Structures are given as structure tokens and as C-alpha cells.
Amino acid sequence: MTIINAMTQGKAAHIITDTAYCNPDGTVAALASKFIVGRAFPFLIAPTGNPNLFRLAAIIDEARPRSGNDLIREMPEILRALEASGGSHELDAGFVIATWNKRHGRPMLHLIANTDNHWPGVLTPLEPYFIEYVIGGQITVDDALGRRVDVSDPRSFDPHRDGKILVDVQRRKHRFEHLGTPAHRIGGAVEVGTLTRHRASIREIHQWPEDRIGSLIEPAMEEA
């Protein structure tokens, strides 16, 4: 499980997430980037749930999309292929996808999931859903930052400075009660993926060096 925050700001789209992969009991299984970055053309994908990102990246390469529109159009079949590829766990995953739309001359964000467990009531499984922004967890950005915020305005919300604070608050407040074993599952580091017309890039903006593989995540409650 993970936390995903994403927004478009003019000619850029940003996805903000953590780097902790957790076991069912909440202990840290791995610490690594959760982004898939486009190679043939710029795009970004960030997951929630239990997908195998290496397998997903290989399936995308085999599908050979040539544009952001191609990728979004082919994502339902790509996820069906990911479901059929098997693995140790039945696929239960959602994704935020940032692409560039040449026709509109702007970045686009879409959600897609293969079950109802991700963004319930918002989308139909295996159907892409266009969004301007999405904020993970239960706390609002206004409450997390202690002021009125417009995430679409870079003068109001800085994805790097404010994104670090937002994820830190989400880390402390959200215990993923719905997963059966309540535990803090946001950790490792905070990364911001940024998509523009010609580039998709990842920048690490914060680390929690106390998060260790094999241990539970225990946020310091006094962190700001």
C-alpha cells in the first residue's frame, strides 16, 4: 500500500509518493522508488496496492504505446495482461498516470484500478478516469498545511516544499485500518515525479532514515 498525491499545475503535472513497500503485517519489505518512467515518450505511473512494477513495465514495453493517448487507451488491456500474468498474490492495484496530451498542449492525470478497493465510488474498475488532482488519505491539504491551499497553483502549493510536509502528516495520521492489520505504511523517503512536455523526472525531497527493512514504521508524533 502507498500514499499518492497528484496535481496538474499549468504545463506540469506532479505525483508525490513515498518509497516504502510493506508486508501484510505492516513491516517494511523494501525501500525503493515506486515510479515507472516512460522511455519512448515522457510519462509517469505511480501505484497503490500490490502490483509487480517490473512486470507492469515489461507489459507496457510489449504494448509499445507511442503517445500519452495511446498509453491511456491501452491501459485496460495492459492491466488485464498484468492480472493474467499471475504471481504470488491476486492483483489488487490502482495507478495514477501522468501523460502529455499533444492535442490540448497540457499534462493530463488519470486514475485506473483493477478493483473497487481503490478510489471507491470514483471510478469503474479497468476504466481510466481523468482528474485534475487527487490527495491520498483522509486529511485535507488545508488541514495538513494549516492554511488555505490551491494545489493547482504553484504559488499556493509547492510540490517539493509543501509536498514533504503533506506526506509527513499523512505518514503520522494514516494507519491503513482497512488492511486488516492497522499499521503505518508510509515511509522510506518522499519522491516527487514531474512531467512536462519533453521530460519525466523524479526528485527525492525527504528521507526517514529510521525506517528499516523488517521493522514496523513508527513515525515520531512531534514531527511537523
In order along its 224 residues, the chain shows pLDDT tens digits of 578 999 999 999 999 999 999 998 999 999 999 999 999 999 999 999 999 999 999 999 999 999 999 999 999 999 999 999 877 689 999 999 999 999 999 999 999 999 998 988 889 999 999 999 999 988 999 999 999 999 999 999 999 999 999 999 999 987 775 556 788 999 999 999 999 999 999 999 999 999 999 999 999 865 54
Q: Phi and psi (nearest 5°) for 152?
A: -80, -10
DSSP letter string over 105-157? Answer: TEEEEEEEESSTTSSTTT--TTS-EEESEEE-SSS-HHHHHTS---TT-TTT-
Residues 153/162, Cβ–Cβ less than 8 Å: no
Q: Indicate the SS3 state at residue 191.
A: strand
Q: Which CATH superfamily is domain 4-207 in?
A: Aminohydrolase, N-terminal nucleophile (Ntn) domain (3.60.20.10)
Read off the C-alpha cell for 207. 528521507
- The pLDDT value recorded for residue 222 is 54
Edge-to-edge order in the sheet of strand 43-49: 36-37, 43-49, 93-101, 106-113, 129-131
Residue-level pLDDT at 179 = 56
Q: How far is 172 from 224, CA to CA, in rounded Å?
A: 10
CA–CA gap between residue 92 and residue 86 (Å, rounded) = 12
pLDDT at 178: 56
> How far is Cα 68 from Cα 134, in angstroms, rounded to an integer?
19
pLDDT at 34: 96
Look at the pTM and tell me if it is higher than 0.85: yes
Q: How far apart are CA 34 and CA 205, in angstroms?
A: 14
Calculate ∠ Cα 123-19-55, nearest 5°: 65
Residue 224 has a pLDDT of: 45
Distance of CA 116 to the CA centre of its chain: 17
For residue 121, what pLDDT is reported?
A: 86
pLDDT at residue 1 in the model: 58
Contacts of the segment 36-39: beta carbons below 8 A, 24+ positions apart: 36/60, 37/193, 37/200, 37/201, 37/202, 38/71, 38/200
SS3 6: strand
| Residue 94, beta-bridge partner list | 48, 113
pLDDT of 175:
77
